Structure 1
Amino acid sequence: MPGGRTRASDTDAQATAVRELEEELDGYTHRSDRAVLTELGAVQAVQPSRTHGALTGYRVTFFQASGAAQADPSGPVRCRTCRSRGR
């Protein structure tokens, strides 16, 4: 998810992806017996800070989700960021 970061408690990139999905999508609970996350690859980038000139390294890992997601009976799954912006 945009802005997502790996935490010390995440065992790998897939664990980070699952946690980020569950945090950002209201009503979503990942169930490995019903949904599959397939790692598509990763890219690394280095970007200079706009204010301090320091270099920051990023690693972005891409996943594809497939299978049945557990639906929230109260309505469609919506991104918390979008909801907070009225979308």
Structure 2
Amino acid sequence: MSEYIPFSQGLYIGGKWRPSSDGRVIEVVDPSTEAVIAAVPDATLADAAAAVEAAAQAAAGWRETPPRKRSEILRRCFELMTERAET
């Protein structure tokens, strides 16, 4: 039996979690049991445009971040992904 692993069920855009702009979701099914284990946002073109705009706005701040600090942030991201690889 698999263990429930919590995860976000929203779109992370502009530093905030939110549902899709039209509220639609996609059900995620566990193929071994055929049970619905989650419902995740079905992103729209408007959501994609909002994500691109948010990324463009964030780029200026990232560009101004010193290289050493950026490398520390990216290294920490790598470490967290490695620690959570099983999940």
Give the shorter-chain TM-score range.
Answer: 0.3 to 0.5
TM-score by length of 1: 0.36
TM-score by length of 2: 0.36
Q: Rg larger in 1 or in 2?
A: 2
Q: Which has the higher strand share?
A: 1
